Amino acid sequence: MTIHVALAGAGAFGQKHLDAIKLIPDVEVISVVGRELDKTQEVAAKYGIAHACTDLAESLAIAQLDAVILATPTQLHAAQTLQCLEAGKHVQVEIPLCDALADGQAVVQRAKETGKVAMCGHTRRFNPSHQWVHKRVVAGEFAIQQMDVQTYFFRRTNMNALGQPRSWTDHLLWHHAAHTVDLFAYQTRSPIVKANALQGPIHPALGIAMDMSIQLQAASGAICTLSLSFNNEGPLGTFFRYIGDTGTYIARYDDLFNGKEEKIDVSQVDVSMNGIELQDREFFAAIREGREPNASVAQVLPCYEVLHALEQQLGA
C-alpha cells in the first residue's frame, strides 16, 4: 500500500524531506503547500509533485491523502498539527512542536483522542551518531555523566539555510534548545529535574536573545551544559560531547568521533546515514504498523515543559 503524503513548507528544510522521501519505498508526495504559489509550483515541478497550493486546507481535502509533514514556520506548528488531526490525517511536525506549552498540550490531547500517528521531528534521536551512543547506554555499556553541547549559527539577519529572507523569526529557546533538551533526557533515559538559563542582550530588530546558556540535570545525576548563539561566525552547527564512565564521544550531526578525534564507523547502525530519512522512515513505519512512533508528540512533551519553565525563569 502506498502512503500518500502532503508536505507543507517548501523551504530549505521541507526540501530535505522531499529528498528523503524519494529514498523510501511505497510513499508518494501528492501535494505541496507553500506561502508563495510561484515558488511552491517550482518545487512541485522539481520533484514531480502533481498538486501545489498555498492553503493547507486545500491539501487536506484531497481524498487519497493519508499523512502530512509540516515544515512550516514555528509559530504555525501547533495549530496546523491540530488542523491535520481534525482532518483525520497522520502528521509529522518539524521541531519544535509548539512555542507555548498550552498549545503542545492541546496537540497531545487531540492526538490521543483521534488515534492518529502524531510525531515531532526531533531528528537527533535518529542521527546514526546519537543512535550509536543510545544503543551503548541501553546495553549498559556507557553511562552519561555530562553532555556539553554547542549550537552555533551566524544569523544576525532573518535568513534561512538557503540564504533567502524568512517570513518568521527563529528562536534559540523554543527551537534550537529543544533538540538538546529532548536528546539529553532521551540519552540519559532519565527525566530532567533541574534547569537554569541565562540569555544575552535582545536584538533591537529581531526582538530575540542572540546568545543563551542553559544548564540541565537529569534524575540520574547527569548534567548538561548547552551554549547557543546566532552571533557566531564559525564553525557553524551543533556539536555534542558525551562524557561518560567508559569513554568520551563527539557527535557532529550523523558523524561520531571519540575523544581522540578518531572517527567511529556508524554506517551499520541503521539503514541510512541520513537522520532526516531515518526520521521519516519511522513516521511511515508507525503508520503502517499502527503504533506510536519514536518522538511521538506525547514522548517529546516533557521537553516543552522544560522550555516553558526556562521561559518563565527568563521572564519572557
Give all domains of the chain, ordered by start, each with its CATH number.
Answer: 3-122+276-293 (3.40.50.720), 127-269 (3.30.360.10)
CA Rg value for the chain: 19
Give the per-residue pLDDT at 206: 82
Closest CA to 80 of 53, 118, 47, 52: 118
Cα(25)–Cα(17) distance, integer angstroms: 14
Beta-sheet strand order (sheet of 27-33):
51-53, 27-33, 3-8, 67-70, 90-94, 118-121
User: Which pLDDT score, from 0 to 100, does residue 208 have?
Assistant: 85
Residue count (the chain):
316
User: What SS3 state is found at 86?
Assistant: helix
Q: Which residues of the chain carry a pLDDT beneath 50?
A: none
- Peptide bond between residue 165 and the one before it cis (omega within 30 degrees of 0): no
Question: How high is the pLDDT of residue 168?
Answer: 55
H helices present in the chain, as ranges: 12-21, 37-47, 56-60, 77-86, 101-114, 128-138, 177-188, 275-289, 297-314
Q: SS3 of 277, please?
A: helix
Which pLDDT tens digit goes with each residue over 82-128? 999 999 999 999 999 999 999 999 999 999 999 999 999 999 999 99
pLDDT of residue 110: 98
Owner of C-alpha cell 538538546 = 180
In this structure, what C-alpha cell is assigned to residue 231? 552571533
Full DSSP string of 231-269: B--SS-EEEEEEEESS-EEEEETTEEEETT-PEE--TTS
Rounded Cα–Cα distance for residues 125 and 114 (Å) = 25
- The confidence score (pLDDT) of residue 315 equals 86
pLDDT, residue 301, reads 98
